[in-house]
């Protein structure tokens, strides 16, 4: 597969390490009332769709950016690649 890195252009997926569901960005608030339940969902619940999936890839053999790649798990079509940091900021992660 080829991943179009937002900064570095088209790169072979062999340069990347795969992590999984981009929902891992949504780490719960440790001070929430139900923090334990929230963290359990965060840690263990995955959608695993046959279709469009937002997922985290690490450019380990490259610039060490974490990317959010929107990929169809059936066709492997990649429709969007973003810097995870931009995504996290846009989603309002505060620190």
Instruction: Please report, as ranges, the residues that interact with other proteins according to CB under 8 A.
Output: 1-2, 12, 17, 19, 24-25, 27-28, 30-31, 35-36, 39-40, 42-43, 56, 58, 60, 64-66, 75-78, 83-85, 88-89, 93-95
Q: Provide the minimum distance between the beta carbon of 70 and other proteins in the complex, in angstroms, as a whole number.
A: 14
CA 29 to chain centre: 19
Q: Provide the minimum distance between the beta carbon of 5 and other proteins in the complex, in angstroms, as a whole number.
A: 14
Spatial distance between the Cα atoms of 77 and 48, rounded to a whole number of angstroms: 16
Task: Name the nearest CA neighbour of 83 among 58, 62, 60.
Answer: 58
């Amino acid at each position: 597969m080829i991943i179009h890195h937002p900064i570095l252009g088209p790169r072979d997926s062999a340069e990347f390490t795969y992590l999984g569901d981009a929902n891992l960005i949504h780490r719960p608030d440790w001070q929430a009332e139900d923090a334990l339940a929230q963290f359990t969902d965060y840690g263990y619940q995955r959608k695993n769709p046959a279709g469009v999936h937002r997922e985290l890839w690490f450019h380990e053999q490259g610039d060490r950016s974490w990317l959010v790649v929107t990929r169809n798990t059936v066709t492997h079509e990649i429709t969007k690649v973003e810097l995870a940091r931009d995504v996290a900021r846009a989603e309002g992660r505060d620190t």
